A and B are shown apart, each in its own frame.
Chain A
């Protein structure tokens, strides 16, 4: 057992922390207020290697382990979870290609991400199918050697800025459920691809979220990622790897909440003393700190597991669900500790609360994580393991 971080990891954290302090925190509130996409920050972050961490070195990426990546993400999310989501987006779009793409696809599409600061998006959810991935309606019809893609994808992160979309669509019958889903890489410049409305969100407002519309988009075999009918599996394997990133969003938000609150609690006075002297406040701070520490351990364990080649859906689900729910609770308590000031935009904690909420929704809601965990427990018990 060894909890120490190596030299590289400490340096990577130092760079991400400095970048967060100097480049993200000073502008986060303004970008949030106006829902402005953080183009400048992405450009600088891309140069520093903060954007395509998990893209393998063969394709110009850094080939970071999930562990390195979550350590870096925690630092970014300390400054702004909306920017954290934006910077992580390419990794999510890239993962199905890393896992199942052809050499040609990896060279071309992953190469685009690492050649210059550009974006890609992961397009799975639909207006009528979020949690229920197998219920998706976007269809791909085979016509000779080609496929014709039709449908609408909703809540697509970085959708308006992406040059290509890792798209999941139905190649089989609706009754095939998850067996009929296939993954494609869809370049934005193909005829029939368009960007729909942009969402006006509660939190993480600097991140871009919008509809992607496919109307009779012609695809060829070159766009097929993995085998036909294997899309659902690819999507799930991707989530097993990406869910620890959401836990990193949670640790970032919680560490920020703790830092803001401990400082405020020693400054703000009520009834003749600093509010940090009240046991009620101390207990809240203690619970916040415990939740942060516990999430961090779950996150590190899930990430470490992935690094060991022991991809375990349940570990990633633990970290994601516990982290997201903890971050929501901690951010809500942070607003409570700040009292009336916490409810205003004069202080950063109300943004933490708005930003944290998304962690419980995207990449599988907290309920869906519990389903993954619960099913896995029951399956193990039934199998007599």
Chain B
């Protein structure tokens, strides 16, 4: 089974993010970068599926600047087999990413594409859906599972996305409002993953050392025939409103009074 998994370089959510004074973007100086956490879940799922269905291969793909090779190496250090970087500096919108991925996929012909449901930087949640549309493939978004992240199945690193016995489809449990939905999707397909699908593994030291020797291929969007000119323009970035300081109330009566007249919750 050939599995393609996407990984995006994003701002570390533990970094303090500040908006530029002119409101055009965020201040990137001093910000740490890391792999999109949802993508790490996708990598983990890809590795579990590979290991449960050998022989298989996992290819990690990123669209971004040359620095994105770092995140590809992170996926390789977790255990992915090889990497592909579609190198494009600067802002690339989700549609351009989907179009680049389409070309890579047409070339690599994977059986399954696993992606994070969204990237935590711009929270678009559209790339997987666009990609399925462009490829004319089936899709299942927000993959999750019944078992908890503390369950024995999780500890045994069992895949939550299950390959059918005839290897022609996968069964995906989706997170939907107020419950779970089970789908069967014909392969090849796009599956985007949600938070409760798995706990991504650590990059072990032996794997970190092996990752160096794994190949990472670089591709140019132009050579792939993709026009990456953004269709979406960022007009303005604003910080969330500052939270007002809390207040201290002298007694329960005052608290009830505040909850009733100010907060209007009782």
Contacts and interface: CB of A to CB of B under 8 A. Distances in A.
Interface in A241-295: none
Given A7-B73, A11-B77, A62 B202 contact: no
A30 B208 CA distance: 31
Interface in B203-223: 203-206, 208-209, 211-212
A191 interface: no
B73 A49 contact: no
B21 to A, nearest CB: 26
B74 interface: yes
A48 interface: yes
Given A8-B208, A62-B209, A15 B73 contact: no
B212 A8 contact: yes
A334 to B, nearest CB: 23
B203 A14 contact: yes
Nearest to B207: A49
A15 B202 contact: yes
Contacts of B209: 8, 62
Contacts of A53: 205
Nearest to B70: A7
B77 A18 contact: no
Q: Give the interface residue-count category, chain B.
A: 10 to 19
Nearest to B203: A15
A211 B205 CA distance: 33
A72 B209 CA distance: 14
Interface in B61-109: 70, 73-74, 77
B202 A19 contact: yes
A49 B204 CA distance: 6
Interface in B171-217: 202-206, 208-209, 211-212
Contact of B74 (A11, A49, A62, A72): A11
Contact of A18 (B73, B202, B205, B211): B202
A53 B208 CA distance: 13
Interface size class of A (residues with CB under 8 A): 10 to 19
A14 B202 CA distance: 9
Contacts of A49: 204-206
A18 B201 CA distance: 11
A53 B209 CA distance: 12
A47 interface: yes
Contact of B204 (A7, A8, A15, A64): A15
Interface in A327-348: none
A41 interface: no
Contacts of B208: 8, 11-12, 15
Contact of A48 (B70, B74, B204): B204
A47 B204 contact: yes
Interface string A125-137: 0000000000000
A121 interface: no
Nearest to A51: B205
Interface string A27-70: 00000000000000000000111100100000000101000000
Contacts of B74: 11
Nearest to A72: B205
Contacts of B203: 11, 14-15
Nearest to A64: B205
A63 to B, nearest CB: 9
Contacts of A12: 205, 208
A321 to B, nearest CB: 29
Nearest to B212: A8
A18 B77 CA distance: 14
A62 B210 CA distance: 11
Contacts of A8: 208-209, 212
Contacts of A7: 70, 73, 212
A278 B204 CA distance: 44
A53 B205 CA distance: 9
Interface in A1-22: 7-8, 11-12, 14-15, 18-19
A15 B205 CA distance: 8
Contacts of A15: 202-205, 208
Q: Which of B202, B205, B208 has the most CB of A within 10 A?
A: B205
A62 B205 contact: yes
A324 to B, nearest CB: 26
B109 to A, nearest CB: 31
Interface in B36-82: 70, 73-74, 77
A177 to B, nearest CB: 41
A64 B206 CA distance: 10
A47 to B, nearest CB: 7
Given A15-B204, A19-B202, 6 more contacts: A7-B70, A12-B208, A48-B205, A49-B204, A49-B206, A50-B205
22 contacts: A7-B73, A8-B208, A8-B209, A8-B212, A11-B73, A11-B77, A11-B203, A12-B205, A12-B208, A14-B203, A15-B202, A15-B203, A15-B204, A15-B205, A18-B202, A47-B204, A48-B204, A49-B205, A49-B206, A50-B205, A53-B205, A64-B205
Interface pairs A-B: 4 shortest CB-CB: A49-B205, A48-B204, A11-B208, A49-B206
